[in-house]
C-alpha cells in the first residue's frame, strides 16, 4: 500500500505561519545546505538504523538525494506509488527555509514522520505547529490512520510537543541496541496517532525528530 491522495494532490499545504512544499530537484541544494548546517542535531541520523555516532554527513546527503529522486520519479506520473514524502518548510513572513518534514510508510495505514527545525528557528513553537499541521493534512488528504513519531526521553522540547498534541503512553519497545522507545497513542476522530518517546540508555547524543 502507498499513500492515497485526495483532492488536488499533495504538492503543498500550509499552517498559520508556515508553508509546506513537496521537495523537488530545484530545492535540493537548499535542503542539503540547511541539513549540513545542523548536522549535529539532524533527525536523519535516525533513519539508518545505526547508532547516531556512526552516521556520516555524506550518508545524510544521500538520504536527501534519494527522497527527492523518488518524488521526481512519481510526482508527475503516478502519485499512488508514493511510499515516502519529503517536504521543505518555509516561514511565511520571511520566506526562509526553516526545516523539513519527512513521511514514510511503515505498515498498512501507518506512517512515521521526522520533523526537523533549524537551530535558528527553534523555540518558536514550530515543531508543534508542524506536527499538528501534518495530522490535519493526513486526515483530509490521505488514507493514513496511524502516525509514528520518535524522540529521546530526555528531550524536553519534544516531550512538550507530545503533550501539546495530546499524545499518551502506550507501550515500550527497543528502537536499536541500547535505545528503548516508549510508544504514545492518541485518537483524533476516527484516526489513531502514535507518538514514540525514545529513551537513549547509552548516550545523550542520540538525535530526535523534533527539538
Q: The domain spanning residue 59 has which CATH number?
A: 3.40.630.30
**Is 127 a member of any domain?**
yes
- Higher per-residue pLDDT: 204 or 131: 131
pLDDT tens per residue, range 67-85? 888 888 777 666 665 678 8
55 is a domain residue: yes
pLDDT mean over 147-167: 77
| Residue 34 reports pLDDT greater than 80 | yes
pLDDT at 206: 29
* pLDDT at 16 (0 to 100): 94
Residue 15: pLDDT above 90?
Answer: yes
With respect to residue 74, please indicate whether it lies within any of the assigned structural domains.
yes
- Residue of higher predicted confidence among 150 and 135: 135
| pLDDT, position 47 | 65
Q: Where do we find the cell 520519479? A: 73
Q: How many domains does the chain have?
A: 1
pLDDT surpassing 80 at residue 159? no
pLDDT score, position 110: 81
Q: Is residue 209 part of a domain?
A: no
Residue 174 reports pLDDT greater than 90:
no
For residue 210, being part of any structural domain is answered with no
Q: Quote the pLDDT of residue 204.
A: 32
Q: Is 184's pLDDT higher than 60? A: yes
The answer to whether residue 146 sits within a structural domain is yes
Position 211 pLDDT exceeds 60 = no
pTM over 0.85: no
pLDDT in tens, 84-108: 888 999 999 999 999 999 888 877 7
Determine contact, residues 124/118, Cβ cutoff 8 Å: no
Query: Is 173 within a domain?
Result: yes
Q: Indicate whether 83 belongs to any domain.
A: yes
What domain range includes position 133? 12-200
Does residue 45 register a pLDDT over 90?
A: no
Confidence (pLDDT) at 5: 52
Amino acid at each position: 500500500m502507498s499513500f492515497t491522495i485526495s483532492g488536488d494532490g499533495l504538492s503543498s499545504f500550509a499552517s498559520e505561519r508556515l508553508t509546506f512544499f513537496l521537495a523537488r530537484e530545484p530545492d535540493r541544494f537548499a535542503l542539503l545546505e540547511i541539513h549540513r548546517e545542523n548536522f549535529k542535531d539532524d533527525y536523519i541520523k535516525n533513519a539508518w538504523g545505526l547508532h547516531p555516532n556512526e552516521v556520516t554527513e555524506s550518508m545524510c546527503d544521500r538520504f536527501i538525494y534519494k527522497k527527492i529522486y523518488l518524488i521526481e520519479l512519481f510526482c508527475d506520473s503516478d502519485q499512488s506509488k508514493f511510499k515516502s514524502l519529503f517536504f521543505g518548510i518555509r516561514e511565511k513572513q520571511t520566506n526562509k527555509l526553516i526545516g523539513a518534514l519527512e513521511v514514510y510508510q511503515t505498515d498498512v495505514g501507518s506512517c512515521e514522520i521526522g520533523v526537523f527545525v533549524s537551530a535558528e528557528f527553534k523555540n518558536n513553537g514550530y515543531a508543534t505547529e508542524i506536527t499538528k499541521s501534518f495530522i490535519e493534512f493526513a486526515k483530509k488528504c490521505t488514507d493514513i490512520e496511524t502516525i509514528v513519531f520518535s524522540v529521546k526521553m530526555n528531550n524536553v522540547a519534544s516531550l512538550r510537543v507530545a503533550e501539546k498534541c495530546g499524545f499518551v503512553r502506550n507501550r515500550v519497545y527497543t528502537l536499536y541496541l541500547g535505545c528503548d522507545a516508549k510508544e504514545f497513542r492518541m485518537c483524533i476522530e476516527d484516526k489513531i496517532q502514535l507518538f514514540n518517546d525514545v529513551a537513549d540508555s547509552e548516550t545523550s547524543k542520540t538525535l530526535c525528530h523534533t527539538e
